[in-house]
Amino acid sequence: MNITLTRKEFTRLIELAYMGDWVATSMVTDADVDAPGSLVKRYGDLMNKLYRLAATHADGCPHYAEPDENDNDLFFPTARLEDDSPASRAIDKFTNDTFWEELITRMSARDVMRETGRELTTPPGMEPGEGYEQVDGRLAQLAERYRDEFVRNDLENVIVLFGADRLS
């Protein structure tokens, strides 16, 4: 298969590949790297191939990829791609947005569960007619309240009580 890309398109392809690889492998531990089904193994060779093209091809983007200093067959993203590129900014925004949405969703579900005594799944595991509309409305109300609080005060007013030690 041959694909013809402009330099601009190839640069954007590298950014997209970097973002996908980051999502797939950023939370992988050293112990997971060699595990069966490892995403590092699944995507590693392809990423190396793309980074090699980026670093060495005449129409590549060498500002985004470089060879390993100890092994010229291995290629990695540059600090510029990782820290100062549209891809890195998209990852930062995604990570931040995901944190806040997940925190709001989990805290709202926890509060509804405490209020109703019913364990919730995502989405709520009730059939319509079982109070689903009330629970859904309460979840939305709590989520909006948490969102407003976090927009105004970030994490300043969040207190975590550790077990029985309520002063920790």
What DSSP letter does each residue of 95-124 carry, written as one string? HHHHHHHHHHHHHHHHHHHHHH-----SS-
Do 125 and 70 fall within a single domain? no
Do 106 and 42 fall within a single domain? no
Do 71 and 103 fall within a single domain? no
Residues 23-60 pLDDT 10s:
999 888 877 777 777 888 889 999 999 999 999 998 89
Do 42 and 69 fall within a single domain? yes
Q: 């595991």: which residue's tokens?
A: 125
Q: Which domain holds residue 72?
A: 7-84
Alpha helices in 117-165 (DSSP H): 132-153
Tokens of 128: 């319509």
Residues 74-106 pLDDT 10s:
999 999 999 999 999 999 999 999 999 999 999
Cβ count near 164 (within 10 Å): 6
Residues 116-167 pLDDT 10s:
886 665 455 555 555 567 788 999 999 999 999 999 999 999 988 887 665 5
Residue 31 lies in a domain: yes
Total domains in the chain come to 2
Cβ count near 98 (within 10 Å): 10
pLDDT of residue 76: 95
Do 71 and 113 fall within a single domain? no
Residue 137 lies in a domain: yes
What pTM did the predictor assign? 0.80
Do 17 and 71 fall within a single domain? yes
* Residue 136 C-alpha from the chain's centroid: 26
